[in-house]
Structure 1
Amino acid sequence: MSNGWPTPPGRKTCSRGSGRTARPSSTTSSPICTSDGPKVVRTPGLWEEIKAHGYTGGYGAVRAYLQPFRTTPTAPAARPPSPRTVTSWILTHPDTLPESERLKLKAVLASCPELDALTGHVRAFGKMLTQLQGDQLPQWIKAVRADDLPSVHSFVNGLERDLAAVTAGLTLPWSSGVVEGHVNRIKMIKRQMYGRAGFGLLRKRVLLAS
Structure 2
Amino acid sequence: MILEKIREKGYAGSRSTLSQYIANLRRLQKNGDKPVIRHHRVSPRSAAKLLTQQREHVKDDDIPYFNTLLAEVDGASVANELVQSFYRLMKTRNGAGLDDWLEKAMSCGIRELRNFAIGMRKDYDAVYAGISQPWSNGQVEGQVNRLKTLKRQMYGRASFSLLRARVLSSAL
What's the TM-score once normalised by structure 1's chain length?
0.60
Q: Is the contact made by 2:89 and 2:95 (CA closer than 8 Å) also made in structure 1?
A: yes
Q: 1:142 matched to which residue of 2?
A: 103
Q: Map Cα deviations across residues 75-102 of structure 1 (whole Å, 9 max, x no partner).
A: 9325652212111212221112123312
1:50-83 CA distance string (max 9 Å, x none)? xxxxxxxxxxxxxxxxxxxxxxxxx932565221
How far apart in 1 are the matches of 2:69 and 2:57?
18
Residue identity opposite 1:201 in structure 2: L
Q: 2:117 aligns with which of 156, 167, 176?
A: 156
Aligned twin of 1:127: 88
- Partner secondary structure for residue 113 of structure 1: coil
Q: TM-score, normalised by structure 2?
A: 0.72
Pick the aligned partner of 2:139 from 175, 178, 181.
Answer: 178
Q: Count the aligned residue pairs.
A: 136
Q: Secondary structure at the match of 2:132?
A: coil
Bigger proportion of residues as helix: 2
Q: Secondary structure at the match of 2:99?
A: helix
Displacement of 1:145 after TM fit?
Answer: 2.4
Distance of 1:126 and 1:137 partners within structure 2: 11
Task: Report deviation, 1:186.
Answer: 0.7
- Measured in 1, the distance between the counterparts of 2:112 and 2:49 equals 18
Match of 2:60 among 92, 96, 99: 99
- Summarize the Cα distance change of 1:204–1:118 in structure 2 as closer, same or farther, 3 Å threshold: same
Q: Choose the corresponding residue for 1:165, options 121, 126, 130.
A: 126
**Alpha-carbon distance in 1 for matches of 2:111, 2:52:** 19
State the percentage of identical aligned residues. 32
Larger strand proportion of the pair:
1
Deviations 1:136-166 (A, max 9, x none): 1111111122321122111111111111110
Q: How do 1:51-66 and structure 2 match up within 5 A?
A: none
Kindly provide the amino acid, as one letter, of the partner of residue 85 in structure 1.
Answer: S
Gaps of 5+ in 2: 1-20, 26-36
Secondary structure at the aligned position of 1:195 is classed as coil
- Three-state SS of the structure 1 residue aligned to 2:75 is helix
